[in-house]
Amino acid sequence: MRKSLIALTLCLTAAGLAATAQAELTGTLQKIKDSGAITVGHRESSVPFSYLDATQKPVGYAMDLCAKVVAAVKNELKMPNLQVKYQAVTSQNRIPLMQNGTIDLECGSTTNSLARQQQVGFSVAYFITSVRMGVRKDSGIKDIGDLDGKPVVTTTGTTSDGLIKQNEKGKAINVKNLYGKDHADSFLMVESGRAAAFVMDDILIAGLIANAKNPGDFAIVGPSLRDEPYGVMVRKDDAPFKALVDKTLIGLMKSGEAEKLYTQWFLNPIPPRGVNLNFPMSPALKAAFATPTDKGVE
Amino acid sequence: MNYHWDWLFFFQEADDGLMYYQWVLSGLGWTVAVSLTSLAIALLLGSAFGVLRTTPNRWLIAIGDTYVDVFRNIPLIVQLFLWFFVLPELVPRDIGLWMKQDLPYFVTAVIGLGLFTGARIAEQVKAGINSLSRGQRFAGLALGFTEWQTYRYVRLPMAYRIVLPALTSEAMNVYKNSAVTYSVGILELYFQYKQIIEKTSQVLEITIVITLAYFVVAFATNRLFAWIEQRSRVPGMIAGGQGGK
């Protein structure tokens, strides 16, 4: 009885202390300092942003950028031995895991949208993707107008369907919407002739084409249906931490280091199979590097 | 956890002009349609193959066993992919094109789910028939029934009653398994779940609603079967049968 009383008192005191500590300093930086660890959320197959290499280690363009952020956190907190943990996330769970504190920053391919800003915060954009069409070259499809009456696939749980209708040329035509389970599935629908076009972020289509059996059979065509900025996800209303992330990323953009990383991941052979995406920097991304912004899309 | 709750988003207009709660209802409609159609196919196939496996003919038994072994040992999602992606490439080109471009995905989905569930029901029907004593069949034959008539009038009516609790589980499983059909393009409840998360990021509200929706349809099925069990009970047939209470 006495032992449990002592234990209870100790617990209450500890809880009380923790509560006081929280009341004084809030935010991710304080959480990292208290726990002595930072948890980086990563994707498993968002090539070349954040994915697992042959040894199941998370790598990619976004992971490299985040490594610099982690270094800046170590520096800021004067904790050179800060423990860095990695946590795989999916597009379904990344936002809840950020909100409940499982991950401290997410480095993947997350579009900074106004709907998501209700839930989480975003850094300045480190990549701009354009939603375009992936087609078979022998289909003869060159523009949106060619899609009239054709089946068009997009991936379940993405926001690309409906964009054709919003496009000026798309208003006059009717397409049959199909949905793939994931990007590989959607691409297979185009490859096997089930769908005439795959409407998706151009960089993701480029990744699928680069890994296809005959990359020469496919092309990315049509205008950009929408430009979407990718940002590092952080907790909402955590200004000090977001400022540190932004400062680091902007520094990399200004010094030209971000462009070097871009060249490494988008214009050179990358692990695990040494495929080259051959995806030069778009004018939109050049502009985003010149004048960094954390503005979200609708 | 600083979550931004917003239950009213269900009444916001989505980009196709409908409101999000209408997406949920449309998904629920497809879930029920896929499940009930698959269940009907599965009951027919399961009964037919279950009976085959109890006949005295070893070729018929072999056919029934093969069906059950093949469809029970391959994961459901792989089976759906076989029907959806692989089969059209194996058949003649014109038929393959027709399957890819004109055949509604609903048909592929219910055939896939129906064959999968049918194999499980065949196993239960077989178990039900085998649980009856051999004397039942002999008595039927002695009365001048043909082999088929002993099934129709003596053995199946009893076997179905015995396996009804197992069939109840199977009928509830169909709803849950139907979520897999989103992977072959059915716009059912799980598809709408993923779609709404992506468009609104209101993860918790939609997860709660979708969970409840699955629970309600599965539980309603459970109650329906319990009612059938009670109505079809033959007094004294199974000791102390309480029929799903």
Average pLDDT over residues B176-193: 94
Q: So what's the pLDDT on residue A167? A: 83
Percent of chain A predicted with pLDDT > 70: 91
Q: Using alpha carbons only, give the angle A211, A215, A216 rounded to the nearest 5 degrees.
A: 175
DSSP string of chain A, one letter each residue: -HHHHHHHHHHHHHHHHHHHHHHHS-SHHHHHHHHTEEEEEE-SEETTTEEE-TTS-EESHHHHHHHHHHHHHHHHHT-TT-EEEEEE--TTTHHHHHHTTS-SEEES--B-BHHHHTTEEEEEEEEEEEEEEEEEGGG---SGGGGTT-EEEEETTSS-TTHHHHSTGGGG---EEEEESSHHHHHHHHHTTS-SEEEEEHHHHHHHHHHSS-GGGEEEEEEEEEEEEEEEEEETT-HHHHHHHHHHHHHHHHHTHHHHHHHHHHSSEETTTTEE---PPPHHHHHHHHS---PPB-
For residue A190, give the amino acid letter: V
Of the candidate CATH numbers 3.10.20.340, 2.60.40.290, 3.40.190.10, 3.30.200.20, the domain formed by A130-227 belongs to 3.40.190.10
Q: Residue B100 is encoded by which pair of tokens?
A: 């890819």
- B195 reaches A (C-beta below 8 A): yes
Q: So what's the pLDDT on residue A156? A: 85
Flag whether pLDDT at B56 surpasses 50: yes
Average pLDDT over residues B85-98: 94
pLDDT tier at B238 (50, 70, 90 boundaries)? low
Average pLDDT over residues B227-245: 71
Higher pLDDT, B237 or A98: A98
Of A262, A148, A137, give the one whose Cα is nearest residue A190: A137
Average pLDDT over residues B113-128: 97
Average pLDDT over residues B209-226: 96
CATH number of A27-128+229-290: 3.40.190.10
Average pLDDT over residues A164-192: 87
Q: So what's the pLDDT on residue B211? A: 97
Of the candidate CATH numbers 3.40.50.300, 1.10.10.10, 3.90.1150.10, 1.10.3720.10, the domain formed by B7-231 belongs to 1.10.3720.10
Q: So what's the pLDDT on residue B244? A: 46
Flag whether pLDDT at A235 surpasses 80: yes
Q: Residue A166 is encoded by which pair of tokens?
A: 């919003």
Searching chain A, which residue's CA lies closest to the CA of residue B185?
A179
Average pLDDT over residues B30-45: 98
Flag whether pLDDT at A161 surpasses 60: yes
Q: So what's the pLDDT on residue A23? A: 41
| Interface size between A and B, measured as CB pairs under 8 A | 63
Interface test with A, best of B194, B202, B208, B211 (most A CBs within 10 A): B194
User: Rounded to whole angstroms, how far apart are CA atoms B116 and B178?
Assistant: 11
Nearest-CB residue to A157 (from B2, B88, B197): B197
The domain segmentation of chain B, as residue ranges, is: 7-231
Q: So what's the pLDDT on residue A45? A: 85
Average pLDDT over residues B100-111: 94
Q: So what's the pLDDT on residue A8? A: 52
Cβ pair A162:B15 closer than 8 A: yes
For residue B5, give the amino acid letter: W
pLDDT tier at B65 (50, 70, 90 boundaries)? very high
Average pLDDT, chain B: 93
Flag whether pLDDT at A10 surpasses 90: no
Flag whether pLDDT at A115 surpasses 80: yes
Q: So what's the pLDDT on residue A22? A: 44
The domain segmentation of chain A, as residue ranges, is: 27-128+229-290, 130-227
pLDDT digits (tens, 9 = 90+) for A257-297: 999 999 999 999 999 889 999 999 999 999 999 999 999 99
Q: So what's the pLDDT on residue B245? A: 44
Searching chain B, which residue's CA lies closest to the CA of residue A154?
B185
C-alpha distance from A67 to closest chain B C-alpha (Å): 26
- The CB density around residue B216, as the number of other CB atoms within 10 Å, is 12
Q: So what's the pLDDT on residue A272? A: 86
C-alpha distance from A276 to closest chain B C-alpha (Å): 28
Confirm whether A27-128+229-290 and A130-227 share one CATH topology.
yes
Pairing of strands A151-155, A197-201: parallel
Cβ pair A156:B100 closer than 8 A: no
Higher pLDDT, A246 or B197: A246
pLDDT tier at A19 (50, 70, 90 boundaries)? very low
Residues of A in contact with B7 (CB under 8 A): none
pLDDT tier at A122 (50, 70, 90 boundaries)? very high
Average pLDDT over residues B196-210: 91
Q: So what's the pLDDT on residue A160? A: 78
Flag whether pLDDT at A114 surpasses 90: yes
Average pLDDT over residues A181-209: 92
- B73 reaches A (C-beta below 8 A): no
Cross-strand partners of A229 = A128
Nearest-CB residue to A162 (from B16, B101, B200): B16
pLDDT tier at A92 (50, 70, 90 boundaries)? confident
The answer for residues whose C-beta is within 8 angstroms of residue B25's C-beta and 6 or more apart is none
* DSSP SS3 for B13: strand
Cβ pair A151:B101 closer than 8 A: yes
C-alpha distance from B77 to closest chain A C-alpha (Å): 11
Residues of A contacting chain B (CB within 8 angstroms):
91-92, 95-96, 99-101, 113, 115-116, 118-119, 151, 156-159, 162, 166, 178-181, 185, 188, 192-194, 235-237
User: Rounded to whole angstroms, how far apart are CA atoms B1 and A87?
Assistant: 18
